[in-house]
């Protein structure tokens, strides 16, 4: 399987045109402060810069990324900086909804599995109660003995309590929606933020 078709999930790719007079050394020199943050290591070879991050600080402007490659390429249209960045945070936010949806399906399956046994127990209990109520014999009736009371209905409250105790897939669906939202927002936002950050550094602002 070619990872190229799925690695967009946790990779951010992009390119920026460099000024005509800007060399690769000058471009990397301008970007260098970004790779001198705590927990960041990097190495430069010719027109390529490779960086890695470990235990990066929250104030790091690129803290969401764990590593990446930046390359300066010369083409017919001019010199271009291309970058490919990896993020485990994006991967986690993508996989989390799938995990919670799996939990929801498991909860539904467990509910269906438990339902037949619960219904059988309720049926057995009702039949026992019906058998427990026996009519008065003629002698007791003649003596004026009161008729035995029918068992009180416990179904309404008890059934409600049983329904409340049943596992619900709703929390799993809620968490799945939250992480799906975080992934979509993060994927779009981080792409724009890092592009803007590189652009400002390259322009010297």
Interacting residues of 137 by C-beta distance below 8 A, sequence separation 6+: none
Query: Cα-flanking dihedrals φ and ψ of residue 72, to 5°?
Result: -100, 120
What are the pLDDT digits (tens) for 119-176?
555 666 655 555 555 565 666 566 565 666 655 555 555 555 555 567 788 999 999 9
Q: What is the pLDDT of residue 142?
A: 60
Q: Is the pLDDT of residue 54 over 90?
A: yes
Strands of the 40-45 sheet, one edge to the other: 11-17, 78-86, 67-75, 48-53, 40-45
Q: CA–CA separation, 95 vs 99, rounded Å?
A: 6
In the beta sheet, which residues pair with residue 82?
15, 71
Q: What is the pLDDT of residue 116?
A: 61
CATH number of 3-88+189-203: 3.30.160.110
Where along the chain do its domains lie?
Answer: 3-88+189-203, 92-147+154-180
pLDDT band of 204, cuts 50, 70, 90: confident
What are the pLDDT digits (tens) for 12-39?
999 999 988 889 999 999 999 999 999 9
CA 97, 84, 28, 191 torsion: positive or negative? negative
Contacts from 103-112 at CB under 8 Å and sequence distance 24+?
103/169, 103/172, 104/169, 104/172, 104/173, 104/176, 105/169, 107/167, 107/168, 107/169, 107/172, 108/169, 110/167, 111/166, 111/167
Q: CA–CA separation, 42 vs 51, rounded Å?
A: 4
Q: What is the pLDDT of residue 26?
A: 93
Q: What is the pLDDT of residue 177?
A: 96
Q: Is the pTM of this model over 0.75?
A: no
Q: Which whole number is the average pLDDT over 112-125?
A: 63
Q: CA–CA separation, 83 vs 12, rounded Å?
A: 8
Q: What is the pLDDT of residue 61?
A: 92
Q: Which whole number is the average pLDDT over 41-67?
A: 93
Closest CA to 85 of 56, 105, 118: 56
Q: What is the pLDDT of residue 122?
A: 60
Task: Enter the tokens of residue 9.
Answer: 């999930």
For the chain, the distance separating the N- and C-terminal CA atoms, rounded to the nearest angstrom, is 43
Q: Which whole number is the average pLDDT over 108-117?
A: 75
What are the pLDDT digits (tens) for 77-108?
789 999 999 999 999 999 999 999 999 999 88
């Amino acid at each position: 399987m070619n990872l190229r078709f799925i690695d967009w999930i946790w990779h951010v790719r992009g390119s920026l045109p460099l000024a005509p007079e800007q060399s690769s050394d000058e471009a990397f020199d301008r970007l260098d402060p970004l790779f001198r943050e705590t927990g960041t290591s990097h190495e430069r070879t010719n027109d390529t810069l490779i960086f890695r991050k470990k235990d990066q600080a929250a104030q790091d402007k690129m803290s969401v990324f764990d590593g990446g490659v930046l390359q300066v390429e010369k083409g017919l249209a001019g010199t271009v900086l291309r970058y490919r960045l990896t993020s485990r945070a994006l991967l986690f936010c993508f996989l989390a909804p799938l995990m919670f949806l799996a939990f929801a399906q498991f909860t539904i399956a467990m509910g269906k599995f438990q339902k037949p046994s619960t219904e059988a127990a309720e049926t057995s209990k009702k039949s026992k109660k019906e058998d427990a109520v026996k009519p008065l014999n003629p002698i007791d009736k003649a003596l004026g003995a009161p008729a035995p009371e029918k068992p009180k209905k416990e179904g309404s409250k008890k059934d409600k309590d049983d329904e409340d105790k049943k596992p619900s897939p709703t929390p799993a669906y809620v968490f799945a929606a939250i992480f799906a939202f975080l992934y979509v927002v993060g994927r779009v936002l981080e792409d724009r933020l890092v592009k803007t950050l590189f652009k400002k550094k390259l322009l010297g602002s």
